[in-house]
Amino acid sequence: MRVKISTWNINSVRLRQEMVAEFLREHQPDLLALQEIKCLEDQFPFEPFRALGYEFIEVSGQKGYHGAATLSRLPMERLATTFCPLDHARHVSTRVIAGSEDFELHNFYIPAGGDIADPEKNEKFRHKLDFLAVMNGYFTQRFVEGDNQQVLVGDFNIAPGEHDVWSHKQLLKVVSHTPVEVETLERLRASHDFIDTARLFREPDEKLYSWWSYRARDVFKSNRGRRLDHIWISPALKAAAEKTGRNGYEIHTEWRIKDKPSDHVPVTQILDI
Q: Indicate which CATH number applies to the domain containing 246.
A: 3.60.10.10
Domain that holds residue 40: 2-272
Strand-pair partners of 7: 33, 267
CA pair distance 8, 213, nearest whole angstrom: 15
- Cα–Cα–Cα angle for 215, 217, 219, nearest 5°? 90
Q: Quick one: pLDDT at residue 179?
A: 98
Residues near 78 by beta carbon (within 8 Å), at least 6 away in sequence: 58, 92, 93, 94
Q: Give the CA count within 13 Å in the CB-facing half-sphere of 265.
A: 23
Give the pLDDT of residue 100.
76
**Kind of pairing between the strands at 76-78 and 91-96:** antiparallel
Point out the residues of the chain with pLDDT beneath 70.
none
Helix (H, G, I), strand (E, B) or coil at 135: helix
**pLDDT value of position 101:** 84
pLDDT at 141: 93
Instruction: Give the pLDDT of residue 193.
Output: 94
Cβ–Cβ < 8 Å for 24, 255:
no
Q: What is the pLDDT of residues 141-159, one digit of tens each?
A: 988 888 989 999 999 999 9
d(CA 13, CA 125): 26
Quick: pLDDT tens for 209-253. Answer: 999 999 888 999 999 999 999 999 999 999 999 999 999 999 999
Determine the pLDDT at residue 204.
Answer: 87
Q: Give me the number of domains the chain comprises.
A: 1
| Cβ atoms 213, 224 nearer than 8 A | yes
> In this structure, are residues 89 and 111 in contact, taking their beta carbons and an 8 Å threshold?
no
The predicted pLDDT at position 200 comes to 94
Strand partners, 91: 108
Is the pTM above the cut of 0.75?
yes
Contact 240, 271 (CB under 8 A): yes
